Amino acid sequence: MIIKFWGARGSIPVCGKDFLKYGGSTTCVEITDSKGDNLIVDSGTGIKNLGKAFMKDHIRQINMIFTHQHWDHVSGFPFFAPIYRDVEITVMGCSYSTDGAREIIAKTMQPPGFPVKFEEIEAKFKFRTMCSRGCKLGNLDVFPIELSHPNGGLGYKFVENGREFVFLTDNELGYSHYGGKTLEDYVRFCSGAELLVHDADYTEEEYKIRKTWGHST
Ligand SMILES: [Zn+2]
């Protein structure tokens, strides 16, 4: 699988010379399996440039999943250009917090916050339930795990031909939020991963005053 990070930040997008190394966009990851099928994880502001790339390559079938509903993981959705074209978007979802996958998307375009409503865009959407058993998507097996994070959420393991990528952003290992797992559960979940992306927002010093905010050291 090919993994590309279009946005790697949390909280808000930033710009300026201090942010050239990792870019200024919030969370959006593109995974391409060996058959060429795509899967987008989260629609932070990084999805804007991914949309441009998909338009250039005339991509018509798009798959998406979300880790959770916080702004930095969803707010780019209305700026994802393919949604205004005749494309088919399959969204796999579960209960991330209070909303299902459709509501997560639709709320980013809710008036008066955005001028175009979700019901008015041209793309055709399919919503599939995934929940704890995971799902198969092209050549990828996708397994979720509940995050330890305010308002909940899901982390994921992506497996293709025995190779594993684990994506656990927004996960607090030092405190158990409602619905979250234990440190041992996360260690077990990640144990076969060749690539692990995990929340490491704070230094030990910072964490002393930010415990329970939903992030790790
Ligand atoms: Zn969050």
Instruction: Check which CATH number belongs to the domain holding 67 and give it.
Output: 3.60.15.10
In whole angstroms, give the CA distance from residue 199 to residue 173. 9
Taking only the tens place, the pLDDT of each residue in 184-193 is 999 999 999 9
170 alpha carbon – ligand 1 mean position (Å): 5
Q: Ligand 1 mean position to 36 CA, how many Å?
A: 30
Cα of 35 from ligand 1 centre, angstroms = 31
Considering only CA atoms, which of 196, 182, 174 is closest in space to residue 146?
182
Residue 215 lies inside a defined structural domain of this protein? no
Q: Which residue segment(s) compose the domain that 63 sits in?
A: 2-210
Residue 12 tokens read as 């808000």
pLDDT digits (tens, 9 = 90+) for 106-160: 999 999 999 999 999 999 999 988 777 788 888 999 999 999 999 999 999 999 9
CA 193 to chain centre: 18
Please indicate, yes or no, if residue 144 is contained in any of the structural domains.
Answer: yes
Reported as a pLDDT band with limits 50, 70 and 90, residue 27 is very high
Distance 150 CA to ligand 1 centre (A): 7
Q: What strand order describes the sheet that includes 195-198?
A: 135-137, 140-146, 154-160, 163-168, 195-198
Whether residue 120 lies inside any domain: the answer is yes
C-alpha 58 – ligand 1 centre gap (Å): 32
Count of structural domains within the chain: 1
**How far apart are the CA of 97 and the centre of ligand 1, in A?**
11
Q: Mean pLDDT of all residues in the chain?
A: 94
Residue range 82-97, pLDDT digits in tens = 999 999 999 988 766 6
Interval between CA 46 and ligand 1 midpoint (Å): 16
Neighbours of ion ligand 1 (CB under 5 A): 70, 170
Examine residue 47 and state whether it is found in any structural domain, yes or no.
Answer: yes
Gap from CA of 209 to ligand 1 centroid (Å): 18
**How many angstroms does the Cα of residue 149 sit away from the middle of ligand 1?**
7
In a domain, 33, yes or no: yes
User: Would you state the pLDDT for residue 137?
Assistant: 87
Dump the DSSP string for 162-183.
Answer: TEEEEEE-S--TTS--TT---H
Residue 103 located in a structural domain = yes
Answer whether residue 216 is part of any domain. Answer: no
In whole angstroms, give the CA distance from residue 102 to residue 120.
14
